[in-house]
């Protein structure tokens, strides 16, 4: 998505070197519509520069810091040397992510989507999220729930979620815990089964979370949770164990949660 406005001083921008002169380098800014900046030779690299072409080449993608913006003269002053390696890598990654998100928007809305509709949906997403990439990642993890507060219609929500889940690679973490379940009742097996059903959440596990309960060796059962982050995974693991304990204790049995397998089960 290209912005129609102007970059701010101090902002890091990505652009392509489109002209090299003796006095500096002209950079076509990728993120802004019809915006071009100038990096003076003194801002291309540290130290004395004999030939600018020893440091940059035409067509090269660079990260630059915005020094000054003069809208009246349509001038943007840039510095390439003021960007350290960490900033460069982070900015390039964010830029690549946004290019991916642009493509996902076209998948969601259609290649022939009108500019006005694209902008309307994109701006609505950016009200709630820092970037389009963040919005699509959230939609991939939490589905329509992630877009509840976004001011777009139902069709657009469904399209964004579908595109996100088909295209976004979401990072996940796995955690495992164990619960001991025992019941002295004659139908204690049924009590344990009910507790395991309760642990599995009875179909009410949040979107983006996978929960699996498996048998280890009586009376021990394994609970495995996959979630987008550790806090969510841990919360869901403890909640599942809590549901199992409440269920078995309500039936007159006993339940205990622990993180490691019992040594006598190894």
Rounded to 5°, angle at Cα 20 from 17 and 22: 150
Task: Check whether residue 198 and residue 235 sit in a common domain.
Answer: yes
Task: Check whether residue 26 and residue 72 sit in a common domain.
Answer: yes
Whether residue 6 is contained in a domain is answered as no
Q: What share of the chain in percent tops pLDDT 90?
A: 76
Whether residue 160 is contained in a domain is answered as yes
At residue 264, the pLDDT reads 54
The secondary element (H helix, E strand) that includes residue 69 is strand 61-70
At residue 263, the pLDDT reads 60
User: Considering its fold, how many domains does the chain have in total?
Assistant: 3
- pTM recorded for the entire structure: 0.63
Confidence of residue 266 (pLDDT cuts 50, 70, 90): very low
Rg (CA), the chain: 27
For residue range 74-98, list pLDDT tens digits in order.
999 999 999 999 999 999 999 999 9
Q: Is 160 helix (H, G, I), strand (E, B) or coil?
A: helix
5 vs 171 pLDDT, higher one? 5
Task: Check whether residue 77 and residue 90 sit in a common domain.
Answer: no
Confidence of residue 202 (pLDDT cuts 50, 70, 90): confident
For residue range 206-221, list pLDDT tens digits in order.
878 899 999 898 899 9
259 vs 223 pLDDT, higher one? 223
Q: Is the pLDDT of residue 173 over 90?
A: no
For residue range 188-200, list pLDDT tens digits in order.
899 999 999 999 9
Domain at 35, CATH number: 2.40.50.140
- Over the chain, what is the mean pLDDT? 91
Asked if 143 contacts 135 with a C-beta cutoff of 8 angstroms, the reply is no
The total of other beta-carbon atoms located within 10 Å of residue 197's CB is: 15
- 152 Cα distance to chain centroid: 20
């Amino acid at each position: 998505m290209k912005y129609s406005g102007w970059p701010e001083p101090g902002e890091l921008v990505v652009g392509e070197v489109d002209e090299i002169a003796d006095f500096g380098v002209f950079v076509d800014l990728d993120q802004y519509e019809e915006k071009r900046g100038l990096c003076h030779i003194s801002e291309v690299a540290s130290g004395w520069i004999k030939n600018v072409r020893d440091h940059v080449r035409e067509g090269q993608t660079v990260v630059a810091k915005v020094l000054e913006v003069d809208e009246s003269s349509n001038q943007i002053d840039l510095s390439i040397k003021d960007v350290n390696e960490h900033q460069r890598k982070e900015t390039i990654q964010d830029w690549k992510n946004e290019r991916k998100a642009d493509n996902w928007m076209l998948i969601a809305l259609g290649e022939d989507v009108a500019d006005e509709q694209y902008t309307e949906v994109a701006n609505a997403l950016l009200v709630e999220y820092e970037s389009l990439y963040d919005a699509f990642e959230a939609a991939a993890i939490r589905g329509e729930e992630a877009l509840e507060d976004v001011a777009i219609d139902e069709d657009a929500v469904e399209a964004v979620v579908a595109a996100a889940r088909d295209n976004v690679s979401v990072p996940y973490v796995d955690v495992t815990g164990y619960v001991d379940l025992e019941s002295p009742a004659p139908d204690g097996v049924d009590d344990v089964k009910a507790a395991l059903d309760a642990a599995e959440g009875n179909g009410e596990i949040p979107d983006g979370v996978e929960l699996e309960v498996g048998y280890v060796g009586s009376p021990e059962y394994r609970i495995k949770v996959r979630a987008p982050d550790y806090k969510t995974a841990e919360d869901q693991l403890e909640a599942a164990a809590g549901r199992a304990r409440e269920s078995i204790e309500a039936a007159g049995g006993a339940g205990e949660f622990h993180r490691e397998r019992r040594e006598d089960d190894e």
